[in-house]
Amino acid sequence: GKADIIVAYKNTNNVGVLLNSGTGTFPAAPVNYGLLANSAPTSVKTADANGDGKLDIVTANSGTNNFGVILGNGDGTFAATPVTYATGAGTVPVSVVAGDIDRDGDNDVLVADSGTNQIGVFLAVCSK
């Protein structure tokens, strides 16, 4: 596959996807996927969050004390509405990573939190 670009737009509460043309160029404007009001995403990663074999977008939402998963359709497009998971009162998620932390074959999500200076571990957050 070709490397694409995904950008978190904190001030407009959305994520932009720029698909690689295959010639080393990208479109002038991204395809935007909206998040919840005041979500203020600060970090994005791709991972197969629900085990369906398609890449999803995982976002750290610093404005709404949660992280989001925008499910991928497998063709470079994504669901219109994210699924969100609370990180707890007083948290400010600023970064996310995904991987199989507990070695069970499912992707897990780690969220860095600047509100509590901790890292939250969310095991297999999306069902298959």
pLDDT tens digit string along 25-45? 999 999 999 888 999 999 999
From 74, 112, 78, select the one nearest 93 (Cα to Cα).
112
The pTM (predicted TM-score) of the whole model is 0.93
Close Cβ partners of 5 (under 8 Å, ≥ 6 residues apart) = 17, 18, 20, 26, 30
pLDDT tens digit string along 93-122? 999 999 999 999 899 999 999 999 999 999
